[in-house]
Amino acid sequence: MNTVNIALLSVGTELLLGDTVNTNLSSLGQTLYNNGFILSSEVTVPDKKEIIKDEFLKLFDKNDVIISCGGIGPTEDDFTKEVICSALEIDLEVDEEHLSWMKSRWEARGFTMPETNIKQAQIPVGSTKLINSQGTAPGILIKHSGKYIFILPGPPREFNPLVIDEVVPLLKDNFSATNKEYEFVLFFNQAESSLAEEINKFKPEGLDLAYLASKGVIKLRYDKNSIDEVNLKEFLTRLKDTFKDSIIGYQNIPASKALFNLLKEKNLTLSLVESITGGNLSSEIINYPGASSILLAANTLYSNEAKKEYLSDDISDDWETLSKELSEKSIKKHKSSISLAILGEAGPIPSSNYKIGEIFIAISNNKQTVNFYHKLRGSREDIINRAVNNAIWDLINFIK
C-alpha cells in the first residue's frame, strides 16, 4: 500500500474571526498520529463559496484524502457540500430515508421540521452516507478520481466520532502507516534558542528534532526512527545529564499532568492559595480524573481583605512573608501534605509597590516552607499563564 497525503479543509468565518477555536484540527492531528498517519496540511476558509471552491480544488490536486468540517447545517451560510459537489461536477439528491428520520425527530419534540432542513438530507449521487449519531447532518464519503473526500460536520462532538469510526478505518484499509514515531521531552526554565544551541553540540546527524515553546515550557519532539537505537540512547543520556535540572518529563503531556502524576505516585495531597493566578492553577489540577483525592482545597484570595480574613490577622506588606504565611495557614487548615501560595503583579497597572511580573511563591510541607521569586514578562495573560507554569515547576522540584 502507498503512503498518504491527508488534508483538512476547515470552513467557517467564525474560525477566522476568533469566535470559535478550531479544536477539530488538533483532535484530528492527534487521532491520525495515534493511528499511524500524519495530517499533511490544513486550510481554514470563510463562508464564501468561491474561496471554499478554490481552496478545495488546490487540496484535491495535492492530496489523497481531503476532510472538510463545517458548513453542512440547515442555514443559508451552510453550503460546503454544495460547493464541493459543484467543483467535482456531482449532482445532489434527497435521501428520502434520512429526510423521514429527520422529520420524525422534530415531530417527537412536538414540532414540524422547517423546510430549510431538507438540504441536510441531500446526498451526492454515488456517495456513501455516514451515520452521524450526534446530529442531523450525515457525514459523506465521496470517492472521485481515486481520491477520498470526507464531508463532515463542524461541531467537535459530531466531527470526532466520524473521524474515529469512518476516516481512520478507511486509511488503514487503503494506505500504509508512516514510519515516524515521535517521542517527547518537556523542559522548563530554558530559552528555546539557547536550549537548541546546547543540544546541537551533541545531536546525532540525521535525528529529526522540533522545538515547541509555550508559556515557559518547551516541548522537544524527536523521531525515534530517524537514527539507530545506539545513537538515540546515547543522545538521550547526554540530554538527561546536561539538562537534569530542567526536565519535567518524557511524555507528550502538559506540565500540570506531570505534576499530577508525581503527586499521585508519591501519595501526596495538595492545598492552594491563589491570588495572581485567580484559580487557574487549581483548574489545571482538576482536569484529571482522581483530582479530588489529590487537591484537597483551593482558595482564591484576590483582595487584601480576603487575605486578612483567611489569616485572621493583619497581612504583611512584604509579599515573600505574606506568601509564606498563607501557605503555612493552608497546610494547617486543610491538613494537606503540601501547600502552595502564590502572589504577584499581573498588570497592566500595579496594585502595590511591586513591579509588574514580580511573582512570589511559597511551598510548605510539615517540615519547612521554601520561598521562590520570579520576574516574568509579557501581557497580563502571559504573566498569569507563566505564573501557573512556574508554580507547577516549583512544586515538581520541591517534591523531587
> Is residue 90 helix, strand or coil?
coil
Rg of the chain taking only CA atoms, in angstroms: 26
> Is residue 110 helix, strand or coil?
coil
- The pLDDT value recorded for residue 20 is 95
Would the pTM count as exceeding 0.85? no
- The pLDDT value recorded for residue 248 is 93
Mean pLDDT value across residues 276-299:
97
* Res 265 pLDDT > 80: yes
147: cell is 481520491
- The pLDDT value recorded for residue 179 is 84
- Helices then strands, counting H and E runs in the chain, come out as 14, 17
| pLDDT one-digit tens code per residue, 130-157 | 999 999 999 999 999 999 999 999 999 9
Length of the chain as a residue count: 400
| pLDDT one-digit tens code per residue, 326-341 | 999 999 999 999 999 9
| pLDDT one-digit tens code per residue, 160-196 | 999 999 999 999 999 999 888 899 999 998 999 999 9
Mean pLDDT value across residues 243-267:
94
Q: 214 pLDDT band (50/70/90 cuts)?
A: confident
Q: 400 pLDDT band (50/70/90 cuts)?
A: confident
| CA distances in angstroms from 378 to 211, 259, 385, listed in the order given | 21, 25, 10
What phi and psi values does residue 51 have, to the nearest 5 degrees? -70, -45
Query: What element of type H or E holds 392?
Result: helix 380-399
Query: What element of type H or E holds 39?
Result: strand 39-45
The residues, ordered by sequence, that sit 6+ positions from 52 with a Cβ below 8 Å of its Cβ are 9, 11, 45, 71, 79, 80, 83, 84
- The pLDDT value recorded for residue 9 is 98
CA neighbor of 73 nearest in space, from 119, 128, 24: 119
Query: What element of type H or E holds 320?
Result: helix 319-334
| pLDDT one-digit tens code per residue, 360-372 | 999 999 999 999 9
* Res 68 pLDDT > 90: yes
Task: Calculate what percentage of the chain has a pLDDT beyond 90.
Answer: 92
Residue 112 and residue 104 in contact, taking contact as beta carbons nearer than 8 Å:
no
- Alpha carbon 245 to its chain centroid, in Å, reads 26
Mean pLDDT value across residues 237-242:
96
104: cell is 420524525
Q: Which residue do the cell numbers 525515534 mark?
A: 224
- End-to-end CA distance of the chain, in Å? 48
- The pLDDT value recorded for residue 114 is 93
Mean pLDDT value across residues 281-295:
96
CATH number for the region 6-174 comes to: 3.40.980.10
Which segments of 217-318 does DSSP mark as H helices, in order?
229-242, 255-265, 280-285, 304-311
Residues 82, 88: Cα–Cα separation, whole Å: 10
Mean pLDDT of the chain: 95
Residues 254, 265: Cα–Cα separation, whole Å: 17
Residues 121, 137: Cα–Cα separation, whole Å: 7
CA angle 39, 41, 42 (to 5 degrees): 105
Q: 216 pLDDT band (50/70/90 cuts)?
A: confident
Q: What topology does CATH give the domain 182-249?
A: Alpha-Beta Plaits (3.30.70)
Encoded amino acid at 275, one letter: S
- The pLDDT value recorded for residue 180 is 84
Mean pLDDT value across residues 315-329:
97
Q: 2 pLDDT band (50/70/90 cuts)?
A: confident
Mean pLDDT value across residues 250-278:
96
CATH of 255-399, one of 3.30.450.40, 3.90.950.20, 3.40.50.720, 3.60.70.12: 3.90.950.20
- The pLDDT value recorded for residue 351 is 87
Query: What element of type H or E holds 142?
Result: strand 139-144
- The pLDDT value recorded for residue 362 is 98
Q: 318 pLDDT band (50/70/90 cuts)?
A: very high
Label residues 243-262 b or e (16+ Cβ within 10 Å = b): beeebbbeeebbbbbbbbeb
Residues 66, 60: Cα–Cα separation, whole Å: 7
| pLDDT one-digit tens code per residue, 364-394 | 999 999 999 999 999 999 999 999 999 999 9
* Res 18 pLDDT > 80: yes
Hey, where are the domains in the chain? 6-174, 182-249, 255-399
88: cell is 467535482
